[in-house]
Amino acid sequence: MPSDDPIPPIPADTARSAKAVYSRSNLYLSIGDRLAELLADIHLNNSLHREAPSRLGKPSLALVTFFQYLEKLSDRQAVEATSTRIDWKYALHLSMHYPGLNPGALCDFRQSLLRLPEKQGEFQRFLERLEEGGYAREAQGQPLETLRVLDELCIRTRLDIVMSAMRHVLQALATHHPEWLRRISPPRWYSRYEMAERQPNLTQSVEQQRLLAEAIGADIAFLLQAIPRAEQPKLASLKEVQELEQV
């Protein structure tokens, strides 16, 4: 039986660009060459269901999830990779002009797997096929298990979200209300949240990431409790503070 969606050929522009940059032994090029075989009889609604049909193609969310796990990426970083990485575009049979995934697509895909046991089984079969093909050598030396993969990706993405939201708020407060921020900031914030924009360390162990996410959550709660007591109405109206409240 065919997979849920027909696999398009690798677009000519992507093939030219990838072969000019990477060797044939590249993991992602090898996957791209075998994509139809790897996805055969895997029933996961592989294409990006939230995106309107496009001549630029629709990537396999199961495969993006696997790549994300291999490289220890958050959802935001994986979405960026589908837009900027030539090797990922080759593996996913996407045009060089593909703009990138819908930001919520990967989370939606994980939730669908968690809700539906039969889809979990299909995804596990897909992971085992990748292992058998030798594509999981970088997967931290552990067998690929669906629930562990999904749990790690959720924790990593949650950490990225809370770290980025807290950093953006501190940057805004340092710009508009520096004296107030200086008075209420615990000393640990200066080491935990550098003012320069940088990527959070998502390569830590899962337990380290979980503990850090909980610590940042406590910092967010402390800050949001301090803002109403500041007697400065403009603090609460900052866009970054409102976004932090949603987080």
Q: What is the pLDDT of residue 102?
A: 87
pLDDT single digits (tens) 12-51:
999 999 999 999 889 999 999 999 999 888 887 544 333 4
Tell me the pTM. Answer: 0.82
How large is the average pLDDT for residues 65-85? Answer: 94
pLDDT of residue 52: 36
Domain locations in the chain as residue ranges? 12-141, 150-246
Task: Please state, for a pLDDT cut of 90, what percent of the chain lies above it.
Answer: 51
Question: So what's the pLDDT on residue 204?
Answer: 66
Tell me the per-residue pLDDT of 95-127, one tens digit each, with 9 for 90 and over.
999 998 988 999 999 999 999 999 999 999 999
Rounded to whole angstroms, the Cα distance separating 55 from 98 reads 9
Mean pLDDT for all residues in the chain: 85
Over the stretch 123-179, which tens digit does the pLDDT of each residue have? 999 999 999 999 987 665 677 899 999 999 998 898 888 888 999 899 999 998 899
User: Higher model confidence: residue 193 or residue 223?
Assistant: 223
